Chain A
Amino acid sequence: MADKALEGVKVLEYASFVTGPYCSKLLADLGAEVIKIERPGGGDEARCRGPFLNDIPHPERSGLFLYLNTNKLGITLDPETQTGKKIFLELLKWADILIEDKPPREMEGIGLTYDKLKEINPQLIMTSITPFGQFGPYQDYKAYNLNIPHGAGGGYLTPGGSPNAEREPLKGGGFFDDHIAGLSAATVTVIAFYHRIKTGSGQHVDVSKQEALMALNRTEITNYPNMDTIATRVVGSSALGRRPPPCQNGYVQIAALLDWHWVSFKEFMGNPRWAQDTKFDTLDGRSEYGNEMNDNIEEWTRGHTKEEIFHGLQGRGVPTAMICNAAEVMSSPQYEERGFFVEVEHPEMGKVVCPRGLGILSRTPWALEHPAPLLGQHNREVYTRLLGYTREDMVRMREAGVI
């Protein structure tokens, strides 16, 4: 059996929906033991969001929840009850890492601040993920999946190359932005764990989703103070990606950024007369005369299929994409060949395809060994085996709404 990079790392997750759960999923898929706390009753919010199997809403049939919670143990617990808080603190003693996404005031209200928690577990790493971080004037502000990319500057730049300045800025599709914040939080969490291996010390890690997403727009944002430039959806940083040219059966995207890309591209188009104009020979020129160039390119792309353009231009070294929808992503021979699709057997949903993970690590590969937990699936395992409660205790705690 292959090694696991995070074998033996113990993670307590007190988080819901996309960002926090994705952060701890990234750790779980590399071998960390993650105990996920869900509130008795409804559980994680993602259980109420689709896609549901056969479009029938059911808390155990959410594809979103299944994807974000693979390889975790799931328990129900309400840390806002007295007994629930006591159990939370017992679990905290067990844990190396706590991932939480509650508003700072809420954690303070139930007495679960980092300063309190480190008295119980001095080596604890606590990763707190909130919209605007743990301090600052906006620390208690609310923000959902929609608001974060707008607060981080990505919205103002989307859709890039928009012909219409009168239309609204946009977020990324799906829950893209929430996943990115989770990835960012996982990255800093493993850094903190590496530090702990080296020094034995834990720490508090403050992740502001706004700042995690701002990092992506760093060159556009700092161009303002440095160059007096304000990038917008209309005035972008690159004329080359104005908008994807339509073709016979969809859209493509072509990025002939370097001069030799342009030469290959011209050849593939059959060296049309318009492209012979030397003003297009340099990136300066292609930027300056981008609109004229793109109009001509569109005329050509309309006569071809996206597969022809994608494979044809990539075969000549020109960075090109066909715009893939979900069906095309799923039928990619490249993904298939690289073992990107992994089947997970779920007790309520049957076989479900998930992606392998963020890359191929030769010695410590990603592994999807267990599906997401059913609500409270591992209560007995955690409460009796790990914490030493009796079955009678469990019955009483359930009746009291603690678990």
Chain B
Amino acid sequence: MTGRVLEGIRAVEFGQFYVGPYTSEALAYFGAEVIKVESIRRPDPTRWFGSTGGPDPKIIILTDPNKSVGFNELNLNKLSVNLDLTKPKAVELAKKIAEVSDVIVENNRPGVLDRLGLSYEAIREVKPDIIYLSASCRGSTGPERNYAGFAPIFGSLGGLSEITGYADGPPAPPIGGRTDIVCGTANAFSIITALIHREMTGKGQYIDNSDSEVISCLVWDTIMDYNLNGRIQTRRGNKDDIFAPHDCYRCKGEDDWISIAISNDEEWRAFAGAIGNPDWAKEERFQDAYLRKKNEEELDRLISQWTISHTKYEVMDILQKAGVAAVHSFSSKDFFSDPHLKERGAFTEVEHPVIGRLTVMNPPWKLSATPAEIVRHAPLFGEHNNYVFGELLGMSQEEIKALMDEQVIY
């Protein structure tokens, strides 16, 4: 086995919440050394977010920056140093780290790092071929550059919320970090292409990513409908324009569901056979895609009558064996008893020095030559001050101690 692809690449992260941290976590999966810069005055806020756990979880604010399970999941494989960037000496140290690095990742409000003296131009002076990525809700230029937003915000601005939800219900903004991680992936993609370009030409660059633009790119077919036909698409649950059945059907159990999609007559016949060829499935009104879509409501009702008497696992098994696209709606619990994911090694464990043993999700890709992998827990707050300032920048223990006393390394 060869080494990991990005071994030897060093990235500095001035990140917070999800987008910036996941961007550099994706690089760290491939062996990049990611140094996360935080201060006790302004740690990554995710360090403070915990959950009460249990069946009705609530957000709780932690008092120990090393106890957040969510922070661990988003900052695996990284190192952490402390710098209070409101102090000029700390900014100089950040630049020294940048000088021996290849990539900068930041997702502060546009202008924040510029004011601190850590703009792309400032870093380029000390490291001419730096690849510097800024990610923000609306991008770093334009009249709305200072507008901030988490996932539900840029998901809504980008056009996703309007088209997600029940046909008779309100828009459904993406709650949680899902679209953040999408944007983090887009950022990682841009950074890697910039690394390829640097490898070929020796030149770095500045990358300005807007989270809401990323979302719009991923729903562009619906926006295209407006451009071509003046149609404003809206919510339609799980439904499809053409095909039926195409929905989630209730199964035996509590909040258990199966998604079934049938896209041609062959699959329809296979489906009918798999459920025992009931009389209704032979009726003329269900015999081609047009008719099935036209009589969808009745079709859905009849299918539900069958699914409700089986578990979601049974339905998935019966229908997939017949060649029908049926996948149950996984709850977070289901992932850990699934034989397929077990064989593919979707999860692993890390030993966190403060929290203890934690399950984490492996990177979503399997590469035959260069593994993406999790090698360590998320860093404790300031865990690598000695390594980075001592080993990497060559400072003495006395110097480091003095800067800690001055609350520069803080």
Contact = CB atoms under 8 A, between A and B. Distances in A.
A and B pair up = yes
A218 interface: yes
Given A67-B224, A211-B344, A195 B369 contact: yes
A289 to B, nearest CB: 10
B263 interface: yes
A194 B141 contact: no
Nearest to A365: B205
Contacts of A326: 159, 162, 222-223, 225-226, 231-233
B193 A329 contact: no
A231 B242 CA distance: 32
Contacts of B340: 132, 136-138
Nearest to B45: A258
B187 interface: yes
Interface stretch (B81-89, B330-338, B384-392, B399-407): B330-338
B281 interface: no
Nearest to B4: A195
Q: What class of interface size applies to chain B in its complex with A? A: 35 or more
Determine which residue in A188, A199, A283, A363 has the highest number of CB atoms from chain B within 10 A of its CB, and name it.
A188
A216 B142 contact: no
Contact of A223 (B165, B223, B232, B332): B332
Contacts, number: 525
Given A30-B193, A330-B227, A239 B238 contact: no
Interface in B172-205: 172-179, 181-182, 185-190, 192-197, 199-201, 203-205
Contacts of B187: 359
Determine which residue in A136, A138, A176 has the highest number of CB atoms from chain B within 10 A of its CB, and name it.
A176
A134 interface: yes
Q: What class of interface size applies to chain A in its complex with B? A: 35 or more
B366 interface: yes
Determine which residue in B2, B207, B259 has the highest number of CB atoms from chain A within 10 A of its CB, and name it.
B259
Interface in B250-269: 250, 255, 257, 259, 261, 263
B20 interface: no
Contacts of A287: 58-59
B24 interface: no
Interface in A203-239: 203-208, 211-212, 214-232, 235-239
Contacts of B327: 141, 143, 147-148, 150-151
B207 A197 contact: no
B142 to A, nearest CB: 4
A146 B259 contact: yes
Given A63-B228, A314-B144, A50 B220 contact: no
A169 B197 contact: no
B196 A194 contact: yes
B173 A186 contact: no
Nearest to A142: B325
A214 B335 contact: yes
22 contacts: A49-B241, A136-B344, A142-B324, A147-B325, A153-B330, A160-B152, A169-B257, A187-B185, A194-B196, A211-B341, A216-B177, A218-B74, A219-B69, A226-B69, A227-B69, A237-B51, A237-B57, A323-B171, A326-B162, A338-B141, A358-B186, A361-B190
The 8 closest A-B pairs by CB, nearest first: A160-B175, A173-B163, A159-B172, A359-B209, A326-B226, A51-B225, A63-B224, A203-B369
